[in-house]
């Protein structure tokens, strides 16, 4: 009888954990967005811009977001293939749920926990290490392109004295080089540290991850270009690209929560783009629309997917 009661309790916990996670994520999204003191101000700033965008244009932006999620799902499926093979559909779910968890955690670290929910019980810790490789590949692309853009554009920003200018311009390429070397560095650990060898992945997979990460980066850039076109921003594409590369680099370094990231993203983008474009309202609108498409909507979808989730034994 006791064993039967324990089994019933365990079954109830397994079935209800999805509802609990749904409630946590839903409440977090509400307080991070709707109840946030910055929301009313931001809504007034870009409301007129949003309603001017046609429905078909929104569909294009959502399609680009889904392509972005698909690329991330492919990366995730590739990196866990040997230890925990999953279908592409499961990988997509895990990416959406990871977005939901990332929404209310600093620097999006909750995404790791959300992704591993869909892995088998014995492979969750391994999944954390494997996801670190996908994140590192994306970070490497961001750093490499960002430091090149910083090298090219740093002289155009006022307020940077000669000493800082020298160090930033010539040290930043070395940072990118070090990041590349560390990514491809592989060592066989021995003795007590031999368990670290299982965390390694082969160079071919690393190259594939970089390729898909570059594709994801290009999709982000395409979204920004498209919204800038919709907002009729008169700015050269190469200037916008270099500014975005520097923005992505800064965002990869600055610690933020998802909603504060919206505010930080807008302020940083104003600082970076102001030397080339003076309409601050358009800059904030551009940044906010991208944030809503790429972070808020996937987080809501991921939260809804948690309703059907059952914890694995």
Q: What is the pLDDT of residue 68?
A: 94
Q: What is the pLDDT of residue 226?
A: 94
Residues constituting the chain: 313
Q: What is the pLDDT of residue 182?
A: 78
In this prediction, the residues of the chain whose per-residue pLDDT falls under 50 are: 1-19, 34-35, 195, 311-313
Q: What is the pLDDT of residue 136?
A: 87
Q: What is the pLDDT of residue 252?
A: 81
- CA dihedral (216, 51, 41, 298) positive or negative: negative
- pLDDT tens for residues 60-82? 999 999 999 999 999 989 888 87
Q: What is the pLDDT of residue 63?
A: 95
- Kindly give, in sequence order, each residue whose CB lies less than 8 Å from that of residue 242, ignoring residues fewer than 6 positions away: 149, 152, 153
Q: What is the pLDDT of residue 41?
A: 56
Q: pTM score, two decimals?
A: 0.79
Q: What is the pLDDT of residue 66?
A: 94
- pLDDT tens for residues 250-301? 888 776 655 556 667 777 888 888 888 888 878 888 888 888 888 888 888 8
């Amino acid at each position: 009888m006791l064993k039967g009661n324990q089994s019933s309790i365990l079954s109830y916990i397994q079935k209800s954990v999805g509802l609990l996670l749904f409630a946590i994520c839903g409440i977090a999204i509400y307080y991070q967005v709707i109840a946030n003191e910055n929301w009313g101000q931001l809504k007034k700033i870009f409301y007129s811009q949003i309603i001017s965008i046609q429905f078909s244009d929104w569909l294009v932006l959502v399609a680009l977001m889904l392509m972005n999620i698909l690329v991330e799902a492919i990366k995730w499926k590739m990196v866990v293939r040997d230890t925990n093979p999953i279908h592409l559909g499961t990988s997509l779910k895990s990416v959406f749920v990871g977005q939901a968890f990332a929404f209310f955690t600093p620097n999006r670290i909750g995404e790791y926990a959300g992704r591993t929910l869909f892995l088998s019980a014995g492979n969750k810790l391994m999944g954390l290490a494997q996801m670190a490789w996908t994140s590192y590949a994306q970070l490497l692309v961001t750093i490499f392109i960002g430091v090149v853009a910083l090298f090219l554009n740093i002289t155009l920003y006022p307020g940077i004295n000669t000493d800082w200018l020298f160090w930033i311009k010539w040290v930043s390429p070395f940072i990118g080089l070090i990041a590349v070397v560390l990514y491809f560095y592989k060592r066989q650990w021995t003795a007590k540290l031999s368990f670290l060898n299982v965390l390694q992945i082969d160079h071919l997979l690393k190259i594939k991850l970089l390729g898909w990460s570059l594709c994801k980066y290009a999709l982000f850039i395409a979204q920004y270009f498209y919204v800038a076109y919709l907002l009729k921003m008169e700015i050269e594409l190469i200037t916008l690209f270099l500014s975005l590369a520097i923005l992505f680099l800064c965002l990869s370094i600055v610690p933020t929560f998802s909603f504060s990231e919206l505010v930080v993203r807008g302020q940083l983008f104003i600082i970076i783009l102001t030397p080339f474009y003076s309409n601050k309202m358009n800059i904030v609108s551009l940044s906010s629309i991208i944030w809503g498409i790429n972070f808020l909507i996937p987080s809501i979808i991921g939260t809804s997917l948690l309703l059907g989730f059952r914890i694995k034994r």
